[in-house]
Amino acid sequence: MNLPGIIILLSLFASSALMPVLNAQQMDRQLALTHLDSIIIFAREHSLYTDRLDWPALVTELKNLAAKQDSADVLTVPIRKLMTELGDFHGSLMYNYQLSFRGEAIKPKRANHIPWDQETGQAIYRTHIPEPYQAGAHYFTKDKIAYVKIFGTGVMDSTRIMAGIDSIRREICALAAKQPIGWIIDLRANGGGNTHLMMSGLGELIPNAELGGDTKDGLSPYSRWSTRDGRFYMSDWSAAGTLPRTCPELIKENPRIAVLVSRYTSSSGEVVASSFRGQPNVRLFGEQTAGYSTTNGWFVLDDKWVFMPATAYYMSVDGTVHKDGILPDEEIIENFDLEIMLNGTTIEAARQWIRK
């Protein structure tokens, strides 16, 4: 079972900026060895890829690696080796609420790979993680269609999560007051971040829904996801606490919702896409998402260090398991412009579907 504090973290665009955290060099050697033992146990028991490894041989290798390191690397070098051997390209180790490093595992390339534009990806990382968090919104007056753009986030404390939820809901409620015939949720430039902020914000639109969850074996749930009175839950835990809905009187039941996804939609952005897939009156438009569609565990080592291996694949409520991203219902390959995302083939197809 997942720990209740799981956060799916920004993965695709931040990875090039990751580096060992300098304060880690001050770690006591014995403490580092204790953490290494804990991480090995967590990985062996919970990693999605645990069956790939000869654990007795690997544990011996990791201990030998640790013995050869000075105090600065006694933890980081063995854990980098562990993550690489697991083939875990999404999991990571975090220090003091900052991503410290990942292993060297490389995500396998798809046969139908759509080239990822480095400039666009880095632009998303630079410009599409607002601080403080603010959702984007637009109203297509002629069509009477509401548009909400869900950005990625950085690592956030509870106060900022609640403020972000409020931001999304305020935009939704302002649009709902115009009585739209349908909604567009744009995830195309969402590189991940805090799942609870995004889904509890969007819970204003789908307030009481079973959303699927995640799975290890492709058949049975590892954890179940849902919205209850607008709050997003992973199993029985929600970061939204007892937050009530903001404008229930304005939201029509089961509105038609088009969800836009792209090759850049990653991690928590893929949680949102997986959660909406299979819902009544929902259709996904765009490209297969990035493929960071695994839940990351949240295993606390001490007040600074957290180990976050990939633990399960996302699974939609219709039973679709997403081992390599989320496939759209209507595939549209498009090199969109971050500056003019309200135009283009994908959004026009979504508007046409809502108008039907």
The tens digit of pLDDT for each residue in 118-156 reads 999 999 989 899 999 999 999 999 999 999 999 999 889
What mean pLDDT do residues 241-268 have?
Answer: 96
Task: Give residue 58's pLDDT.
Answer: 98
Q: pLDDT for 20-33, tens place per residue?
A: 443 444 578 899 99
Q: Quick one: pLDDT band at residue 8, thresholds 50, 70, 90?
A: very low
Contact 194/202 with Cβ under 8 angstroms? Answer: no
What's the Cα-to-Cα distance from 346 to each of 2, 112, 175, 239, 258, rounded to whole Å?
35, 19, 21, 32, 10
φ/ψ (deg, to 5) at 355: -70, -20
SS3 107: coil
Contact 130/151 with Cβ under 8 angstroms? Answer: yes
List the Cα angle 316/319/324 in 5-degree steps.
60
What's the Cα-to-Cα distance from 268 to each of 70, 90, 252, rounded to whole Å?
36, 12, 26
- State the Cα–Cα distance between residues 63 and 292, nearest whole angstrom: 30
Contact 175/137 with Cβ under 8 angstroms? Answer: yes
Query: Tokens for 115?
Result: 């080239």
- State the Cα–Cα distance between residues 320 and 318, nearest whole angstrom: 6
Is the pLDDT at 67 greater than 90, yes or no?
yes
Nearest in space to 168 (alpha carbons), one of 212, 144, 132 = 132
Q: What is the DSSP string of 83-96?
A: HHHHT-SS-EEEET
- State the Cα–Cα distance between residues 89 and 108, nearest whole angstrom: 9
Structural element, H or E, at residue 52: none
Average pLDDT, the chain: 91
What mean pLDDT do residues 158-163 have?
Answer: 96
Sheet containing 92-95: order of strands: 98-101, 92-95, 305-308, 299-300
What's the Cα-to-Cα distance from 219 to each of 83, 152, 210, 213, 311, rounded to whole Å?
25, 29, 16, 11, 15
Q: For residues 72-95, b (16+ Cβ closer than 10 Å) or e, as one string?
A: bbbbbbbbbbbbebbbbbbbbbbb
Task: Give residue 239's pLDDT.
Answer: 96
Q: pLDDT for 90-100, tens place per residue?
A: 999 988 878 77
Q: Quick one: pLDDT band at residue 2, thresholds 50, 70, 90?
A: very low
Nearest in space to 240 (alpha carbons), one of 340, 351, 127, 164 = 164
What's the Cα-to-Cα distance from 342 to each of 182, 276, 292, rounded to whole Å?
15, 21, 26
CATH of domain 118-293+311-355: 3.90.226.10
Alpha helix (H) residue ranges in 118-266: 118-127, 158-176, 195-202
Q: What is the pTM of this model?
A: 0.92
Among left, alpha and beta (phi > 0; psi -120 to 50; other), residue 46 is alpha
Residue bearing the bigger pLDDT, 100 or 42: 42
- State the Cα–Cα distance between residues 206 and 204, nearest whole angstrom: 6
Strand ranges, E, within 121-242: 136-140, 145-149, 182-186, 209-215, 221-228, 231-234
> pLDDT over 70 for what percent of the chain?
92
Task: Give residue 26's pLDDT.
Answer: 52
Query: Residue 265 is which amino acid?
Result: T
Contact 112/323 with Cβ under 8 angstroms? Answer: no
Task: Give residue 79's pLDDT.
Answer: 92
Q: Where are the domains of the chain?
A: 15-101, 118-293+311-355
